[in-house]
Amino acid sequence: MQLYAILRREGFADEPDLQAAAARSTKVGDEEMSDRVRWIRSYVLDEDSGRVGTLCIYEASDPEAIREHARCANLPIDEIIAIADTVVVRPDPAPAAA
């Protein structure tokens, strides 16, 4: 399994839309593709348009598994980027207030 960053710019109308997408993503990943795709975390992007974007970190067998997961969960994808390495300077801070 390889780590990937998935960019979803302006992918969601608002926070409730994002929460519904997260539920679909979890269901598909856990019930249908647990051997090929694993959602690790997401950073929610405050887009200038007022929509919500995300930068998601996934572990997957390959980019096609991520695309299949997105199709099954009805999720947008703008870009899939393989992560070559991780450099942790500090742990993630406490989540930002919404």
Residue 94 binned pLDDT confidence (cut-offs 50, 70, 90)? confident
Query: What is the Cα–Cα distance from 40 to 30, expressed in whole angstroms?
Result: 12
d(CA 66, CA 29): 10
Q: Which fold has domain 2-82?
A: Alpha-Beta Plaits (3.30.70)
User: What are the residues whose beta carbons fall under 8 Å from the beta carbon of 22, sequence distance 6 or more?
Assistant: 42
User: Cα angle at 63 between 58 and 67, to 5 degrees?
Assistant: 85
Is residue 11 within 8 Å of 54, Cβ to Cβ? yes
Examine the pLDDT at 97 and tell me if it is beyond 90: no
Confidence of residue 95 (pLDDT cuts 50, 70, 90): confident
Note if the pTM is more than 0.85.
yes
| 3-state SS, residue 62 | coil
Give the pLDDT confidence score for residue 96 in this predicted structure: 67
3-state DSSP assignment of residue 48: coil
Tens digits of residue pLDDT in 10-66: 999 999 999 999 999 999 998 999 899 999 999 999 999 999 999 999 999 999 999
